Amino acid sequence: MIAEAGHYALVLALGLALIQSTVPLLGARWRDAALMNVARSTALAQLLFVAMSFIALVTLHVTSDFSVVNVYENSHSLKPLIYKITGVWGNHEGSMLLWVSILALFGGLVAAFGNNLPLSLRAHVLAVQAWVAGAFYLFILMTSNPFLRIANPPIEGRDLNPILQDIGLAVHPPMLYLGYVGFSISFSFAVAALLEGRIDAAWARWVRPWTLMAWIFLTLGIAMGSYWAYYELGWGGWWFWDPVENASLMPWLAGTALLHSALVMEKRNALKVWTILLSILTFSLSLLGTFLVRSGVLTSVHAFATDPARGVFILLILCVFIGGSLSLFAWRASALKQGGLFAPISREGALVLNNLFLTVACATVLTGTLYPMAYEVLSSDKISVGAPFFQLTFGPVFVALLLAVPFGPLLAWKRGDLLGATQRLLAAGIAALIAIALVWAWTYGGATLAPLAIGLAVFVVMGALCDVAERIGLFRMPLSISLRRARGLPRAAWGTMFAHAGLGIALIGIVCETTGNTEYIGAMRPGDVVPIAGYQLKLDGLTPRPGPNFSETIAQFIVKRDGATVSTMTPSKRSFATRGMSTTEAALLTRGASQLYISLGDATADGAIAVRIYHKPLVLLIWWGPVLMAFGGLLSLSDRRLRVGAPKPAKAPRALQPAE
Amino acid sequence: MTLWFVFALMTVAAVFAVLWPLSRSRPSGTGGSETVVYKDQLAEIDRDLASGIIAAAEADAARVEISRRLLAAADEGQREAAPQANLKLRRVAAILALIGLPLVAATLYLRLGAPQLGDFPLAGRSLVADASQPLVNLVAQVEAHLEKNPTDGRGWTVLAPVLSRLGRYDDAVRAYRNAINYAGDSAERRADLGEALMGTAGGVVTADAKAEFERAIALNADDPKGNYFLGLAAEQDGRKTDAAAIWQAMLAKAPADAPWRPLVQAALVRVGGVAAPALPDSAMAAAKDMNDTDRSAMIRGMVDRLATRLKQNGDDVEGWLRLVRAYLVMGERDKAMSALSDARQAVANDAERLRQLNEGLKNLGLDG
């Protein structure tokens, strides 16, 4: 009964979405408050039914009900409980259900907490949400139904892909989906604004928390996914420019641009049309990302041939939503009122520059991701676009962006003073030069670009600190006044500092990891010792051990430094009988922000085992950076104050730097 | 019955969610407006000014800008028509919810769902072996059991020959070794282990395998399997006379009704030891005697005869399933699939047979 009730709940949610997508629009057209309010109750009811449906699927997985095809194909009765639950979204059907659950959750949140929205705007937003939801319910029910049954259930399931049997699956996809789906709210607001033909600074105020929330989750989701790939795949790499990774990076770049342009709109009532376009593009890229991961649209064109119904449905959804919203934009954007004016050198101008760089970066990633597929379709040859392409295109754009980052917050609204900003960044510049000189001396003869990149990173971090120091008048005023001003500084300003500094921190990690790596790859026998980066690693022995649904071979390494034992590391190799697959469980030893990394290869006939050992200096900074960025986002989100961008008067003497 | 009751409750809840706001004469929460935001922004400027974050000149400039926006928004708000009740539209919406929603839900669900099926949580299912279950599942069950109780010698003894027959020789070798460790050493087990080791080497008697056969002989000098394969080892080494000697000794000691007699006699003929005596049972000998090519040709002949028979009379569901299974065993998945679609066509007019067919196919691990 659980399976069927879950199935029926999903069907009912579709029915409610159909009503929610039409009735409120009629209400807004004829200005009937009751009809507009239907959107609210149906959105909440939709959330209720989708949640029921999702809980039903989780229950089925937990109780190992193999009469459900989805459970049979992706579960195993011996799997640990946590993987039985995470296995729900470790497959196409279940992950689509998670996607709509999150969509319904966001719809429900807008309905429940959208009291400050004008009635007709809320009706429009929820109706657009319901269009998206309705399309996805149909997609799930028609082509990817997780509730299909087997009349004579088999006694054991086929197990989940062993690579996915990891705690990463519990965190990474839900985070990423919260990010992807969160951008559906700004999309709905954008389409609603186009439908209503009205947009102003208040709009940006209402969209801000949703965009920020989505951005935080997406940032954490991408960082988490990268760390997961780093420790699970056993190669020690953390970013592969894989289409699936690019698919999550593109909405992040567009979303970051959106975050900044929405800021201009809220504070200065400018860049309105551009913000609407960015909202549409960001969600379009999120949709593309969802389907890239779930259907392999790009990685293989042939995925369409294996399941044509699914492929055609996906294409249809992409065409209708991306094409439809862009056409609506082309048709209605000219009717929107233009916003305020500003000088090229001003905070607004800096943010336009930021948007320019981010969208160009996003476009290079999109090109690198889509080009191989287009090429394959046209010439039936396979090519792959890898890291060199992205380093040559994405790299320079991002370097330029990073150079500009510290300047932005130091410029005044409306008309800025570049020279003044440069002077105030002098400290950051000097710190960067010192860093370059130090790194150059230390790694003399190493990579040429590494010291420069480190210098750039230091410049970004110090620039972020300079900005806050400038605002609170540190070193210019008595300390007590500085502290009082620091307390009075809006949390959003602190958020900006953390987010911008996070960028620099991540860059330091990236540069150190790519240029300062030491590695040892070879075969070891019990008793062998390998010296690496000042550590001595001794392979103590190999022991087999049975796990719940796998058997594993564990290798014990004793790590010594200067003769003293530091720790032991136990990498292992697991083999899963049901799928006939094996996975590598790398062992990581964290020392400060650096890590030792051991992963096992195959055992050779004479009792030796292939091992890869890496020492990765400061590698953890790669992920601490994004965490810091997300923390900055969180600070900004918690700041419920209104944002006012006080313009710099045309001919005022230089006064205190205007803040948020 | 409970299921339909639950469905009805859910439907009522969904319909209620649409009807509830329609039924309220004075809707709560008429919504916010832009003017509120701008008023708050003005208040914010005063606060910033007081705490010294912005200067007075800038605060004035900001105030002017925001007041302009506030005026524009207030104008807009006044021009808009006040909300009004539209009873006709509300009735249409109510009818849509009362009739349309249940109709859509019921139609879709009855097409997609399987309300006749109950739940099958694993805890509530008996784990008794079921003849209709695919062998692979049973093996998986035993393996799961042994994973938890790795010292169960009897379990390994049962599992090993099955794995060997399934062609999972590596696992079979491990299973035989465990069986010897936990259930005791014996000539038969050593010989079986040797045979599994041969399987991993593609039928060649390797040094490891030979060592196992020799251990079997050491435990029981008359062990037929050990002796036969030691003969085969000699043959593969090119020592045909040694092979013939081993096999002749076997035949001399063997009882007259030993089932392996024809096999050894055939082997003896192959190495040119002696002229074989007349075969006692020609049909059995025929099968044993054949080399791999001939044997598979014979099986193929039987399968082809079955396929022809089914083409003439397609009512035999069991026959179709046997045919599909045979193709799968022979590794010809394409033929299995075409036989499957032929079978569907043949029984398409008979719902009961179609159901039997689909269930059988699911048991074979083919999705319906």
| DSSP collapsed to 3 states, A56-109 | HHHHHHHCCCCCEHHHHHHCCCCCCHHHHHHHHHCCHHHHHHHHHHHHHHHHHH
- List chain A residues with CB under 8 Å of B108: 11, 14, 141
Query: Does residue A478 form part of some domain?
Result: yes
Query: Does residue A649 form part of some domain?
Result: no
How far does the CA of residue B75 sit from the closest CA of chain A (Å)?
Answer: 13
Query: Does residue A596 form part of some domain?
Result: yes
Give the chain B residue whose CA is nearest to the CA of A4: B115
A221-240 residues labelled b (16+ CB within 10 A) or e (exposed): bbbbbbbbbbbbbbebebbe
Does residue A294 register a pLDDT over 70? Answer: no
Q: Are residues A207 and A97 in the same domain?
A: no
Does residue A129 register a pLDDT over 90? Answer: yes
* Close Cβ partners of B128 (under 8 Å, ≥ 6 residues apart): none
Q: Compute the count of residue pairs across chains A and B with CB atoms less than 8 Å apart.
A: 276
pLDDT at B278: 39
CATH 1.25.40.10 domain locations along chain B: 135-283
DSSP, res A340: -
pLDDT at B295: 67
pLDDT at A625: 95
Specify the 3-state DSSP secondary structure of A612. Answer: strand
Rounded mean pLDDT of A437-461? 86
Query: Does residue A624 form part of some domain?
Result: no
**CB contact (8 A) between residue B55 and residue A656:** yes
Dist CA A247 CA A295 (whole Å)? 12
Confidence band for A504, pLDDT divided at 50, 70 and 90: very high
The residue out of A165, A197, A217 marking a domain boundary is A165
**CB contact (8 A) between residue A4 and residue B115:** yes
Does residue A293 register a pLDDT over 80? Answer: no
- When divided into structural domains, chain A yields a total of 4
pLDDT at A455: 93
Picking from A363, A329, A319, A113, the residue whose alpha carbon sits closest to that of residue A213 is: A113
Q: Are residues A508 and A542 in the same domain?
A: no
Does residue A137 register a pLDDT over 80? Answer: yes
Structural domain span for residue A324: 185-333+343-410
Confidence band for A654, pLDDT divided at 50, 70 and 90: very low
Query: Does residue A629 form part of some domain?
Result: no
Q: Are residues A231 and A311 in the same domain?
A: yes
Q: Are residues A554 and A464 in the same domain?
A: no
Give the chain A residue whose CA is nearest to the CA of B35: A202
pLDDT at A192: 94
For domain B293-363, the question of CATH label 3.40.50 is answered with: no
Confidence band for B26, pLDDT divided at 50, 70 and 90: low
Give the chain A residue whose CA is nearest to the CA of B63: A646
**CB contact (8 A) between residue A42 and residue B18:** yes
And the tokens for A304?
Answer: 């369409």
Domain range B135-283, CATH architecture: Alpha Horseshoe (1.25)
- List chain B residues with CB under 8 Å of A30: 84, 86, 89
Rounded mean pLDDT of B224-242? 86
And the tokens for B205?
Answer: 């008697």
Q: Whole-number mean pLDDT of chain A?
A: 86
**CB contact (8 A) between residue A35 and residue B93:** yes
Rounded mean pLDDT of A113-131? 91
Beta carbons of B130 and B161 less than 8 angstroms apart: no
- List chain A residues with CB under 8 Å of B60: 649
Specify the 3-state DSSP secondary structure of A587. Answer: strand
Does residue A385 register a pLDDT over 80? Answer: no
Does residue B52 register a pLDDT over 80? Answer: no
Dist CA B37 CA A116 (whole Å)? 9
Q: Are residues A498 and A525 in the same domain?
A: no
**CB contact (8 A) between residue A269 and residue B69:** yes
**CB contact (8 A) between residue A656 and residue B127:** no
Angle subtended by helix axes B87-95 and B2-23, to nearest 10 = 170
Picking from A587, A567, A583, the residue whose alpha carbon sits closest to that of residue A575 is: A583
Q: Are residues A403 and A552 in the same domain?
A: no
Q: Between A44, A147, A200, which is nearest B73 by CB?
A: A200
The residue out of A516, A541, A569 marking a domain boundary is A516
Q: Between B41, B117, B137, which is nearest A149 by CB?
A: B117
pLDDT at B87: 83
Picking from B109, B127, B130, B143, the residue whose alpha carbon sits closest to that of residue B359 is: B130
Does residue A660 register a pLDDT over 70? Answer: no
Beta carbons within 10 angstroms of residue B292's beta carbon: 8
Picking from A354, A289, A656, the residue whose alpha carbon sits closest to that of residue A499 is: A354
Q: Are residues A540 and A597 in the same domain?
A: yes
Task: Give the pLDDT confidence of B273-287 residue by residue, as tens digits.
Answer: 654 443 344 444 455
**CB contact (8 A) between residue B83 and residue A119:** yes
Q: Between A18, A40, A156, which is nearest B140 by CB?
A: A156
pLDDT at B276: 41
Q: Between B7, B58, B148, which is nearest A658 by CB?
A: B58
Task: Give the pLDDT confidence of A307-360 residue by residue, as tens digits.
Answer: 667 778 888 888 999 999 999 999 988 877 776 778 788 888 889 999 999 999
If phi > 0 it is left, if psi is from -120 to 50 it is alpha, else beta; for residue A296 that is left
How far does the CA of residue B284 sit from the closest CA of chain A (Å)?
Answer: 37
- List chain A residues with CB under 8 Å of B150: 546
Rounded mean pLDDT of B58-67? 85
Does residue A299 register a pLDDT over 70? Answer: no
pLDDT at B286: 55
**CB contact (8 A) between residue A4 and residue B114:** yes
How far does the CA of residue B77 sit from the closest CA of chain A (Å)?
Answer: 10
Q: Whole-number mean pLDDT of chain B?
A: 79
Q: Are residues A522 and A504 in the same domain?
A: no
pLDDT at A306: 53
pLDDT at B31: 62
Confidence band for B368, pLDDT divided at 50, 70 and 90: very low
DSSP bridge partners of A584: A573
Q: Between A9, A155, A660, which is nearest B10 by CB?
A: A9
Selected residue of A79, A115, A156 to mutate for chain B interface (largest B Cβ count, 10 A): A156
A266-to-A141, A466, A639 alpha-carbon distances in Å: 40, 25, 14
Does residue A423 register a pLDDT over 60? Answer: yes
Q: Are residues A509 and A573 in the same domain?
A: no
Picking from B250, B278, B274, the residue whose alpha carbon sits closest to that of residue B264 is: B250
How large a percentage of chain A has pLDDT more than 90? 41
Q: Between A1, A145, A645, which is nearest B3 by CB?
A: A1
How far does the CA of residue B317 sit from the closest CA of chain A (Å)?
Answer: 17
pLDDT at A369: 84
Confidence band for A198, pLDDT divided at 50, 70 and 90: confident
pLDDT at B30: 57
How far does the CA of residue B171 sit from the closest CA of chain A (Å)?
Answer: 10
Confidence band for A656, pLDDT divided at 50, 70 and 90: very low
Q: Are residues A155 and A262 in the same domain?
A: no
pLDDT at B108: 94
Rounded mean pLDDT of A424-438? 89
Confidence band for B40, pLDDT divided at 50, 70 and 90: confident
**CB contact (8 A) between residue B51 and residue A42:** no
Torsion angles phi and psi, residue A587, rounded to 5? -105, 135
Rounded mean pLDDT of A616-641? 91
Query: Does residue A397 form part of some domain?
Result: yes
Dist CA A357 CA A259 (whole Å)? 14
Does residue A649 register a pLDDT over 70? Answer: no
**CB contact (8 A) between residue A155 and residue B125:** yes
Task: Give the pLDDT confidence of A42-65 residue by residue, as tens digits.
Answer: 999 999 999 999 999 999 999 988
pLDDT at B282: 46
Q: Between A15, A156, A202, which is nearest B141 by CB?
A: A156
**CB contact (8 A) between residue B14 and residue A45:** yes
Torsion angles phi and psi, residue A544, rounded to 5? -85, 150
How far does the CA of residue A163 sit from the closest CA of chain B (Å)?
Answer: 20
pLDDT at A3: 92
Selected residue of B9, B30, B34, B63 to mutate for chain A interface (largest A Cβ count, 10 A): B34
Q: Are residues A4 and A140 in the same domain?
A: yes
Dist CA B89 CA B22 (whole Å)? 10
Picking from A530, A585, A593, the residue whose alpha carbon sits closest to that of residue A559 is: A530
Q: Are residues A530 and A511 in the same domain?
A: no
Query: Does residue A279 form part of some domain?
Result: yes
